Each structure stands twice: as C-alpha cells, then as structure tokens.
Amino acid sequence: MKPALALLALLLLAAPARAAEGTLESAEALVMAQYGPEADSSPDAAVRLYAPEIGQEMMDPIRGAGAVNLGIDPRYGQDNWSVTGAVTAAASALPDGKARVVARFLNFGKPTEIDWTLAPALDTPSGWRVWDISAPDQNDWAAFDMRQMLNLKP
C-alpha cells in the first residue's frame, strides 16, 4: 500500500501546474497591467499575452523582423499617446465564456475607450489571453480592430 501512495505522490508532483480559472477581477488586472510602468511589449511578452494565433501573426518572420508593426499600439489605439490621469478598467462576462474589459483614460486630454476581449486560458497565471483589442470611432481617431488588422477571423 505504501508504494502505491508514494507513486501517487510522485505523479501529483510531476503533474504540470495549472493556473486558476480566470475571474472578472483577474481580467481587469491583466488589462490594467498593460497600462502600468512595468508593461512589457516585447515580442516574447506578446506570445505569452495574446491568443496563439495573434502571437503567431505578430511573430511571423515573413511580415517583419520579429514583430509586426500594426501602425498603432493597440493598447492606446494610436501610434503616439499621452495618457493623463488614471486608467480605469471594467470587466463584464460575455455569453461565450470570454470577458470584455473596457479601459478608459484621457489621451492627449480626450476621453478614450479601448475594448479588450479576453479568452479563457488555463495555462496562464491570470486565466486569460487577449483575443482582440478594438476601439470605436472616437475623437478624431479612427476605429480599429486588431484581429481584422491581422486578417484573423473574429
């Protein structure tokens, strides 16, 4: 009996660690971290942050040297930004198990809204990966959708 318990203990220790299921709070925290001073926008971070097909497109060597230039930073909806004041985020559950997180802030003094869609990902610490980032037509900036920019299905 003791050898069986020892084997079970070894198997449990060898099993890969699984992150917790994502919550709306962890979805908000994931998005807020992208606006913090420690935000990592490196190609390696993109592979960890985004859904696999986005990470693959962003790292496609045919498209460029290591990372795709979308022409904008999707976190801000522009290639140039000046955020003043606090960034806020509010998450809501979507019917398909995804989460929508709306980030709001002042960019060049103008109210800005960026919509993040997160997909469940049990292999990540937050329980989420970025499925899409988009924004409506606002101020004098054009609407955008990152998945469309990468020619990926919605």
Cβ atoms of 34 and 137 closer than 8 Å = no
Residue indicated by tokens 């079970």? 8
pLDDT of 3: 43
pLDDT tens column, 46-86: 888 999 988 887 776 565 545 566 788 889 988 888 999 99
Task: Give domain limits for the chain.
Answer: 20-149
pLDDT at position 72, please?
85
Is residue 137 classed as helix, strand or coil in its secondary structure? coil
Distances (CA, A) of 12 to 17, 18, 76, 138, 146: 10, 12, 43, 52, 40
Compute the radius of gyration of the chain from its Cα atoms: 19
The stretches in the chain having pLDDT less than 50 are 1-18, 65
State the CATH class of domain 20-149. Answer: alpha beta
Q: Can you tell me the distance from the alpha carbon of 126 to that of 108, in angstroms, rounded to the nearest whole number?
A: 31
Instruction: Please tell me whether the overall predicted TM-score, pTM, comes out greater than 0.85 for this model.
Output: no
Q: Which residues are within 8 A (CB) of 78 and not within 5 positions of it... i.e. 6 or more apart?
A: 72, 107, 141
Quote the pLDDT of residue 82. Answer: 93
pLDDT value at residue 2: 47
Cβ-Cβ contacts under 8 Å for 27 (sequence gap 6 or more):
91, 99, 101, 118, 126, 128
Residue whose C-alpha is closest to residue 27's, from 110, 115, 154: 115
